[in-house]
Structure 1
């Protein structure tokens, strides 16, 4: 009896996967930690690997000076200095340019694996590569994607808020420092990932919300040539109305007033800002939550964002798609991406009391104030058309959520897909709609996929935290990981080492199919011309309406009160 037990013990001991051990990078040697995922399967995790030096305030990142000895890469490093979720204080550090690497291993050491680099969301104001910890497990933990999809996952920190995106709109304070941080991380991956078993010529960047807009800007920037082959944007693109600062100097002056740096001479003001404490500057960039409760729309409060700087973003994003002509592109939105924002702007949609015509028009006034009063009636007629003479409240309320989903996420994404397909030079384009019913309790029955609800499935939470989910959630998670990692491997989400439930057709200049992603996927999950009537309205009718006169804009702000 003893011999079989000894043999079993020896076999189990041998049934461990290979381990990378110490890896030589350009800055020095690093050692991570191995996590067992199954028989002959593990993931090597390297946390807190520096990809650049501590950044100087409002300057581009510079190379890390390196270190001696072996860097124990077993703990996440501080996030970049930012406001907390409740906007009451700051957290994080200026020493924050670190990334994390997740490398899947089998019996022998992995080599030449596809690489997927993730950029987090958070309105360009907050977030981190290891955000939203639950039971010690970060939302962006890459182990499940790495293991199930046989890809290397890299998650990246970048500067956010005032220190990442404040700008004067000219060379004095050009802005886009957070985008330059992302660029530095991608450059580091290009130079170093081979030592971890990755293929530097097969890198995919992906992100959600502001992280997706960041991916979009990386695609469109002339500085990105050769850094990645594919890109995925989830609920955000560079064309989104919240993704670009329209008037950076006015925001900089507002920040200057808050920190006591207001000067009539702009150069003196900028000098003062550069000498101001980073914590005070970060707090000055917080969202003024009280403004939401009375005036305008949530979108107006998302002020800090990238700018057209004549360098990283040399022109309007819509004019830069030729730079992405050889980048395979997969993009989509959640069916209720705008619901959270609509619920803040028009609270009655989530309550028992009626949503009135006045409230609906008030929301449209806030969204369309660039165009004036004609746009309110024009948009209202489009969205109220399906209601009939005696509209049910559920239809009205869902339409309000649809308005914000379309305006903030869906229409800009469809425009980006079309521009990519139009400019493609051999690269493929894919479109999706994620519409799994929300898991958030307390919402009305008509609410489907809320903003950011796709991330738990993509990062495999139904597997790593199985007690919190049902089998249908694991099905969906498996489908998403398969499509995303196949795309990273081959440029085709249907082709790769992972089996998928239905082939995903290519989106082209003249043919616009999209995949409907949920837990029940079959041939009927392929549809065409996503919300084309609404896309046509915003891109062709609304965009051609004349701009509002100044007095008219003020009138509309009154409507929103």
Structure 2
């Protein structure tokens, strides 16, 4: 009996010593000591979690971020930071704070302290208008919790706050209010991680940035700017690149004047000085966008609070900056019905099974999307998208075509263009293309529905494992595949090589224009060629050759 008790005590001792051995405790950073929380995630597996570490000082209004002055004692990094000051989801009020430049870190530990781990830095999406480093929360289950990726992939995960909306992206188009403040915040976070992550067990020379939607376009901008030279090793863009039509505002002055009028500022040479002195809540509320949408005025044309070509962060048009990413490994892809979320606002009938969508809506939408090239381009686009209809297109044929149009225009074609430009300019950088096609889990959607915008996030962040009752085994397969590909890539620059088995070897784009189709049935038949080649060629070549009517 005594021996048994001693045995139990010895085992307990092993567990507690392992728990202590596998925790970083207080970590020394450039600002001072920080301490997070450590908890067990499995047998001899632990997680150090740091929430709310400042990577810059509270930013000045319409200013680039500056270094944090530091703190005395030990900073308890136990709570997610407030998001940056932004509109609420119905654009009628605000939430968040101007003091918001913080990041969160998840560090996986085994029986001993981790060292030299690859680092994955995540940028959230939200149209450059809303969002935060922790994501949506349901019963304390945060969408952007890095725990599953860190634990399953044996990588360090960092999620970052950055300024959004008016305070992040308003620009007068000149040196008075140059814009891109949110991009500078992201860049400051990347540089902070590069300088400090070694103390957390990370490899500062193996940083992968990844993001979705506006966060994915941000990843693309961070690759293209000359300001990240030597800081980024790899990048993953999920549904967004710098070439997307919503990613760059080419006439920022017009919206700045609208904001100025709303807050009572003049629109002459005094405008910038007045805006800088205006109450930040008023400024934020003045930055509402028209998100009602219609076939004649699609939402994608109204996302005007976005990055600008400022001659500094973006010294020139993004399409000319791919030489800066020549040594960065790159994965980019889209969801097969990425445009559905937006089309649902622009043409609501697509989600009403009993209601037909008029063919006229296809023409109206294409006319709006091709407005810079005129009637001839709109007619050519209509011919492209209706070529497979036959004499009597069915209800779902028309609805699916409308979703395909917005998916191609808004996400797929720009992403494919960016991938080919990356491959063309690459020196050591490798290029991988994917399509995500696991059908949406929302029960109200039409039967023909594929993967909607942001449907991939729950799988990348391992939600089928965090909340198993909400998912089927096939969803855990998808999540396992994505975490394996993503973290193998973060380790080695090749999604197939690393600690984790993948369902099929994913070839680089440069091997015969190949891509992988990711879903619960991914296998040997999932390697495909020339993603929607006809439509990519139409938008990137034929359409571009039409004269600009403006």
Indicate whether the TM-score tops 0.5: yes
Shift of 1:491: 0.1
3-state SS of 2:330 partner: strand
Q: Which residue of 2 aligns with 1:175?
A: 179
3-state SS of 1:101 partner: strand
Give distance in 1, aligned partners of 2:543 and 2:2: 80
1:11 aligns with 2:11: yes
Shift of 1:114: 0.2
Q: Which residue of 1 aligns with 2:444?
A: 442
Shift of 1:442: 0.8
Which runs of structure 2 are paired with 1:104-143 in the superposition (5 Å)? 104-143=108-147
Q: Which residue of 2 aligns with 1:552?
A: none
1:452 aligns with 2:454: yes
Shift of 1:496: 0.4
Tell me if the contact between 2:64 and 2:185 (Cα under 8 Å) persists in the aligned partners. yes
Which runs of structure 2 are paired with 1:50-61 in the superposition (5 Å)? 50-61=54-65
Q: 1:84 aligns with which of 84, 88, 95?
A: 88
Shift of 1:3: 3.9
Q: Which residue of 1 aligns with 2:545?
A: 544
Q: Which residue of 2 aligns with 1:364?
A: 366
Give distance in 2, aligned partners of 1:29 and 1:2: 44
Give distance in 1, aligned partners of 2:491 and 2:98: 35
Q: Which residue of 2 aligns with 1:529?
A: 530
Give distance in 1, aligned partners of 2:479 and 2:313: 35
Shift of 1:5: 4.9
Does 268-277 or 149-158 show the bigger shift? 268-277
Deviations 1:352-410 (A, max 9, x none): 21111211111111211111111221111000001111111111110100000000000
Shift of 1:9: 4.9
Q: 2:34 aligns with which of 9, 30, 33?
A: 30
3-state SS of 2:270 partner: helix
Task: Give 5+ residue unaligned stretches, structure 1.
Answer: 550-561
Give distance in 1, aligned partners of 2:544 and 2:296: 24
Which runs of structure 2 are paired with 1:507-526 in the superposition (5 Å)? 507-508=509-510, 511-526=512-527
Give distance in 2, aligned partners of 1:451 and 1:95: 30
3-state SS of 1:178 partner: helix
- When normalised by structure 1's length, the TM-score is 0.96
Give distance in 2, aligned partners of 1:539 and 1:63: 42
Q: Which residue of 1 aligns with 2:332?
A: 331
Give distance in 2, aligned partners of 1:53 and 1:385: 56
Flag the 1:12–1:483 CA change in 2: closer, same or farther, 3 A: farther
Superposed structure 1 runs of 4+ greater than 3 Å apart:
none
Give distance in 1, aligned partners of 2:526 and 2:4: 51
3-state SS of 1:431 partner: strand
Shift of 1:294: 8.3
Give distance in 2, aligned partners of 1:66 and 1:288: 41
Shift of 1:520: 1.1
Q: Which residue of 2 aligns with 1:47?
A: 51
1:277 aligns with 2:274: no
Q: Which residue of 2 aligns with 1:101?
A: 105
Tell me if the contact between 2:295 and 2:361 (Cα under 8 Å) persists in the aligned partners. no
Shift of 1:227: 0.9
Give distance in 2, aligned partners of 1:449 and 1:326: 31
Q: 2:204 aligns with which of 200, 212, 219?
A: 200
Give distance in 1, aligned partners of 2:477 and 2:445: 24
Shift of 1:295: 5.2
- When normalised by structure 2's length, the TM-score is 0.97
Tell me if the contact between 2:28 and 2:199 (Cα under 8 Å) persists in the aligned partners. yes
Give distance in 2, aligned partners of 1:38 and 1:170: 54
Deviations 1:84-114 (A, max 9, x none): 1111100000000000000000000000000
Q: Which residue of 1 aligns with 2:252?
A: 248
Q: Which residue of 1 aligns with 2:189?
A: 185
Q: Which residue of 2 aligns with 1:479?
A: 481
Give distance in 1, aligned partners of 2:288 and 2:439: 32
Tell me if the contact between 2:104 and 2:159 (Cα under 8 Å) persists in the aligned partners. yes
Shift of 1:8: 3.2
Give distance in 2, aligned partners of 1:285 and 1:526: 43
Does 101-110 or 338-347 show the bigger shift? 338-347
Shift of 1:333: 0.3
Deviations 1:187-243 (A, max 9, x none): 000000000000000000000000000000000001110111000000000000000
Which runs of structure 2 are paired with 1:345-494 in the superposition (5 Å)? 345-351=346-352, 352-494=354-496
Shift of 1:338: 0.1
Give distance in 2, aligned partners of 1:471 and 1:357: 40
Does 36-45 or 364-373 show the bigger shift? 364-373
Task: Give 5+ residue unaligned stretches, structure 2.
Answer: none
Q: 2:290 aligns with which of 288, 291, 310?
A: 288
Tell me if the contact between 2:296 and 2:364 (Cα under 8 Å) persists in the aligned partners. no
3-state SS of 1:387 partner: coil
Q: Which residue of 2 aligns with 1:66?
A: 70
Q: Which residue of 1 aligns with 2:503?
A: 501
Shift of 1:4: 2.7
Q: Which residue of 2 aligns with 1:213?
A: 217
Give distance in 2, aligned partners of 1:337 and 1:25: 40
Give distance in 2, aligned partners of 1:357 and 1:429: 38
Tell me if the contact between 2:289 and 2:302 (Cα under 8 Å) persists in the aligned partners. yes
